[in-house]
Amino acid sequence: MAVGNGVTGKLTPLQVMADAPVIPVIVLSDVAHAVPLARALVAGGVRMLEVTLRTPAALACIEAIAREVPEAVAGAGTVRSAADAQAAAKAGARFAVSPGYTHAVGKACRELGLPLLPGVATGSEIMMAQEDGYTALKFFPAMQAGGLAMLKAWQGPFGDVKFCPTGGMTPANAADFLALANVVCVGGSWLTPADAVAQGDWARITQLAREAVALRA
Protein backbone atom coordinates (compact mmCIF):
# COMPACT_ATOMS: atom_id res chain seq x y z
CA MET A 1 0.00 0.00 0.00
CA ALA A 2 1.48 3.32 -1.00
CA VAL A 3 0.67 6.03 1.46
CA GLY A 4 1.15 9.62 0.46
CA ASN A 5 -1.45 11.79 -1.11
CA GLY A 6 -3.55 8.73 -1.71
CA VAL A 7 -3.84 5.03 -1.06
CA THR A 8 -3.05 3.19 -4.25
CA GLY A 9 -3.14 -0.45 -5.22
CA LYS A 10 -5.25 -3.33 -4.05
CA LEU A 11 -5.89 -3.47 -0.34
CA THR A 12 -6.24 -6.46 1.93
CA PRO A 13 -9.15 -6.49 4.40
CA LEU A 14 -6.62 -6.08 7.20
CA GLN A 15 -5.14 -2.98 5.57
CA VAL A 16 -8.63 -1.52 5.33
CA MET A 17 -9.10 -2.13 9.05
CA ALA A 18 -5.65 -0.97 10.15
CA ASP A 19 -5.59 2.41 8.42
CA ALA A 20 -7.35 4.31 11.23
CA PRO A 21 -8.94 3.37 14.56
CA VAL A 22 -12.43 4.05 13.19
CA ILE A 23 -14.18 3.23 9.92
CA PRO A 24 -17.01 5.73 9.56
CA VAL A 25 -20.37 4.20 8.67
CA ILE A 26 -21.86 6.77 6.32
CA VAL A 27 -25.44 7.23 5.18
CA LEU A 28 -25.84 9.78 2.39
CA SER A 29 -29.02 10.74 0.63
CA ASP A 30 -27.65 13.67 -1.37
CA VAL A 31 -24.78 13.10 -3.77
CA ALA A 32 -23.75 16.74 -3.35
CA HIS A 33 -22.63 15.90 0.19
CA ALA A 34 -20.33 13.04 -0.78
CA VAL A 35 -17.20 14.89 -1.88
CA PRO A 36 -17.11 17.56 0.85
CA LEU A 37 -17.84 14.90 3.47
CA ALA A 38 -15.03 12.69 2.21
CA ARG A 39 -12.64 15.63 2.16
CA ALA A 40 -13.62 16.56 5.72
CA LEU A 41 -12.92 13.03 6.96
CA VAL A 42 -9.60 12.85 5.13
CA ALA A 43 -8.62 16.22 6.63
CA GLY A 44 -9.15 14.64 10.04
CA GLY A 45 -7.01 11.61 9.16
CA VAL A 46 -9.74 9.10 8.24
CA ARG A 47 -9.43 7.69 4.73
CA MET A 48 -11.32 4.38 4.66
CA LEU A 49 -14.93 5.43 4.15
CA GLU A 50 -17.83 2.99 4.33
CA VAL A 51 -20.73 4.41 2.33
CA THR A 52 -23.76 2.25 3.08
CA LEU A 53 -25.92 1.00 0.23
CA ARG A 54 -29.05 2.13 2.05
CA THR A 55 -30.08 5.09 -0.04
CA PRO A 56 -30.77 5.57 -3.73
CA ALA A 57 -27.83 8.00 -3.83
CA ALA A 58 -25.27 5.62 -2.32
CA LEU A 59 -23.68 4.31 -5.51
CA ALA A 60 -23.43 7.80 -7.01
CA CYS A 61 -21.79 8.96 -3.78
CA ILE A 62 -19.19 6.18 -3.99
CA GLU A 63 -18.57 7.09 -7.61
CA ALA A 64 -18.10 10.77 -6.77
CA ILE A 65 -15.67 10.06 -3.92
CA ALA A 66 -13.70 7.58 -6.01
CA ARG A 67 -13.43 10.09 -8.84
CA GLU A 68 -12.84 13.32 -6.95
CA VAL A 69 -11.15 12.45 -3.67
CA PRO A 70 -8.08 10.33 -4.44
CA GLU A 71 -6.84 10.72 -0.87
CA ALA A 72 -9.86 8.74 0.33
CA VAL A 73 -10.74 5.10 -0.22
CA ALA A 74 -14.44 4.73 -0.92
CA GLY A 75 -15.96 1.47 0.24
CA ALA A 76 -19.47 0.11 0.20
CA GLY A 77 -21.35 -0.91 3.33
CA THR A 78 -24.56 -2.90 3.74
CA VAL A 79 -23.49 -5.26 0.95
CA ARG A 80 -26.03 -8.08 1.22
CA SER A 81 -25.83 -9.85 -2.15
CA ALA A 82 -23.56 -10.60 -5.07
CA ALA A 83 -25.44 -7.95 -7.03
CA ASP A 84 -24.68 -5.36 -4.34
CA ALA A 85 -20.99 -6.28 -4.51
CA GLN A 86 -20.96 -6.01 -8.30
CA ALA A 87 -22.72 -2.63 -8.27
CA ALA A 88 -20.33 -1.36 -5.59
CA ALA A 89 -17.24 -2.45 -7.53
CA LYS A 90 -18.62 -0.89 -10.70
CA ALA A 91 -19.13 2.39 -8.86
CA GLY A 92 -15.49 2.36 -7.79
CA ALA A 93 -15.73 0.92 -4.29
CA ARG A 94 -12.36 -0.46 -3.17
CA PHE A 95 -13.67 -2.49 -0.28
CA ALA A 96 -16.98 -3.92 0.92
CA VAL A 97 -18.54 -4.41 4.32
CA SER A 98 -21.48 -6.74 4.89
CA PRO A 99 -23.83 -6.86 7.89
CA GLY A 100 -23.82 -10.68 7.80
CA TYR A 101 -22.09 -13.38 5.79
CA THR A 102 -23.10 -15.68 2.96
CA HIS A 103 -20.86 -17.78 0.75
CA ALA A 104 -22.41 -16.01 -2.26
CA VAL A 105 -21.28 -12.59 -1.07
CA GLY A 106 -17.84 -13.94 -0.22
CA LYS A 107 -17.51 -15.59 -3.63
CA ALA A 108 -18.67 -12.48 -5.50
CA CYS A 109 -16.18 -10.28 -3.68
CA ARG A 110 -13.34 -12.73 -4.33
CA GLU A 111 -14.22 -12.82 -8.04
CA LEU A 112 -14.33 -9.03 -8.15
CA GLY A 113 -11.06 -8.68 -6.24
CA LEU A 114 -12.97 -6.60 -3.71
CA PRO A 115 -11.63 -6.85 -0.16
CA LEU A 116 -14.55 -7.79 2.10
CA LEU A 117 -15.09 -7.32 5.81
CA PRO A 118 -17.79 -9.92 6.43
CA GLY A 119 -20.22 -9.29 9.27
CA VAL A 120 -20.43 -11.97 11.95
CA ALA A 121 -22.14 -12.32 15.31
CA THR A 122 -21.67 -16.01 16.16
CA GLY A 123 -18.98 -18.67 16.18
CA SER A 124 -20.65 -20.49 13.30
CA GLU A 125 -20.56 -17.37 11.16
CA ILE A 126 -16.88 -16.84 11.97
CA MET A 127 -16.21 -20.45 10.91
CA MET A 128 -18.13 -19.99 7.64
CA ALA A 129 -16.18 -16.84 6.81
CA GLN A 130 -12.89 -18.53 7.75
CA GLU A 131 -13.73 -21.48 5.50
CA ASP A 132 -13.82 -18.99 2.64
CA GLY A 133 -10.51 -17.40 3.62
CA TYR A 134 -11.77 -14.40 5.58
CA THR A 135 -9.98 -13.68 8.84
CA ALA A 136 -10.56 -9.92 9.23
CA LEU A 137 -14.21 -9.61 10.17
CA LYS A 138 -16.78 -7.06 11.26
CA PHE A 139 -18.47 -7.95 14.56
CA PHE A 140 -22.03 -6.71 14.12
CA PRO A 141 -24.06 -5.58 15.96
CA ALA A 142 -21.27 -5.44 18.51
CA MET A 143 -22.95 -4.00 21.58
CA GLN A 144 -26.18 -5.88 21.10
CA ALA A 145 -24.43 -9.20 20.38
CA GLY A 146 -22.17 -9.33 23.43
CA GLY A 147 -19.73 -6.43 23.22
CA LEU A 148 -16.37 -6.66 24.94
CA ALA A 149 -17.17 -9.92 26.70
CA MET A 150 -17.95 -11.64 23.41
CA LEU A 151 -14.71 -10.46 21.81
CA LYS A 152 -12.74 -11.67 24.84
CA ALA A 153 -14.46 -15.06 24.66
CA TRP A 154 -13.56 -15.38 20.97
CA GLN A 155 -9.85 -14.81 21.70
CA GLY A 156 -9.55 -18.45 22.75
CA PRO A 157 -11.06 -20.45 19.88
CA PHE A 158 -10.62 -17.75 17.24
CA GLY A 159 -7.24 -16.35 18.25
CA ASP A 160 -6.23 -15.94 14.61
CA VAL A 161 -9.20 -13.72 13.71
CA LYS A 162 -9.23 -9.92 13.83
CA PHE A 163 -12.38 -7.87 14.33
CA CYS A 164 -13.90 -4.49 13.62
CA PRO A 165 -16.75 -4.21 16.15
CA THR A 166 -19.55 -2.06 14.78
CA GLY A 167 -22.96 -1.14 16.19
CA GLY A 168 -23.24 0.87 19.38
CA MET A 169 -19.67 2.18 19.26
CA THR A 170 -19.18 5.66 20.73
CA PRO A 171 -16.23 7.93 21.50
CA ALA A 172 -16.71 6.85 25.13
CA ASN A 173 -16.53 3.07 24.64
CA ALA A 174 -14.34 2.75 21.52
CA ALA A 175 -11.02 2.88 23.39
CA ASP A 176 -11.98 -0.16 25.50
CA PHE A 177 -12.62 -2.14 22.31
CA LEU A 178 -9.45 -0.90 20.61
CA ALA A 179 -7.43 -2.09 23.61
CA LEU A 180 -8.34 -5.74 22.87
CA ALA A 181 -5.70 -7.77 21.03
CA ASN A 182 -8.23 -9.08 18.51
CA VAL A 183 -9.67 -5.65 17.64
CA VAL A 184 -7.97 -3.66 14.88
CA CYS A 185 -10.51 -0.85 14.51
CA VAL A 186 -14.14 -0.09 15.26
CA GLY A 187 -16.92 1.04 12.94
CA GLY A 188 -19.40 3.74 13.80
CA SER A 189 -21.77 6.34 12.53
CA TRP A 190 -20.84 8.98 15.11
CA LEU A 191 -18.24 10.63 12.86
CA THR A 192 -20.92 11.71 10.41
CA PRO A 193 -23.94 12.97 12.35
CA ALA A 194 -26.95 13.47 10.10
CA ASP A 195 -27.43 17.08 11.22
CA ALA A 196 -23.80 18.00 10.52
CA VAL A 197 -24.06 16.47 7.04
CA ALA A 198 -27.36 18.22 6.33
CA GLN A 199 -25.96 21.56 7.45
CA GLY A 200 -22.66 21.09 5.63
CA ASP A 201 -20.80 21.46 8.92
CA TRP A 202 -17.64 19.88 7.55
CA ALA A 203 -15.42 21.43 10.21
CA ARG A 204 -17.32 19.50 12.88
CA ILE A 205 -16.82 16.27 10.94
CA THR A 206 -13.10 16.94 10.55
CA GLN A 207 -12.89 17.50 14.30
CA LEU A 208 -14.77 14.24 15.01
CA ALA A 209 -12.39 12.41 12.68
CA ARG A 210 -9.36 13.93 14.44
CA GLU A 211 -10.71 12.80 17.79
CA ALA A 212 -11.34 9.33 16.40
CA VAL A 213 -7.76 9.07 15.12
CA ALA A 214 -6.51 10.04 18.57
CA LEU A 215 -8.40 7.11 20.13
CA ARG A 216 -5.48 4.83 19.39
CA ALA A 217 -2.71 5.81 21.74
Q: How far is residue 132's CA from residue 105's CA, in Å, rounded to a whole number?
A: 11
C-beta of 64 vs 169, nearer to ligand 3PG: 169
Least gap, CB of 8 to ligand 3PG (angstroms): 28
Least gap, CB of 190 to ligand 3PG (angstroms): 6
Catalytic, 138? Answer yes
Least gap, CB of 188 to ligand 3PG (angstroms): 4
Catalytic, 50? Answer yes
> How far lies 204's CA from each of 14, 22, 47, 72, in Å?
28, 16, 16, 18
Residue from 10, 50, 90, 131 carrying the catalytic annotation: 50
User: SS3 for 111-134, per residue?
Assistant: HHCCCEECEECCHHHHHHHHHCCC
Residue from 63, 125, 138, 162 carrying the catalytic annotation: 138
Chain residue whose CB lies nearest ligand 3PG: 189
CA nearest neighbour of 88 among 98, 101, 100:
98
Q: How far is residue 91's CA from residue 105's CA, in Å, rounded to a whole number?
A: 17
C-beta of 109 vs 186, nearer to ligand 3PG: 186
C-beta of 168 vs 200, nearer to ligand 3PG: 168
C-beta of 166 vs 182, nearer to ligand 3PG: 166
Residue at 182: amino acid letter: N
Numbers of helices and strands, H then E, in the chain: 10, 11
Contact set with ligand 3PG (CB under 6 A): 25, 140-141, 166-169, 188-189
Residue at 29: amino acid letter: S
Least gap, CB of 43 to ligand 3PG (angstroms): 21
Active site residues: 50, 138
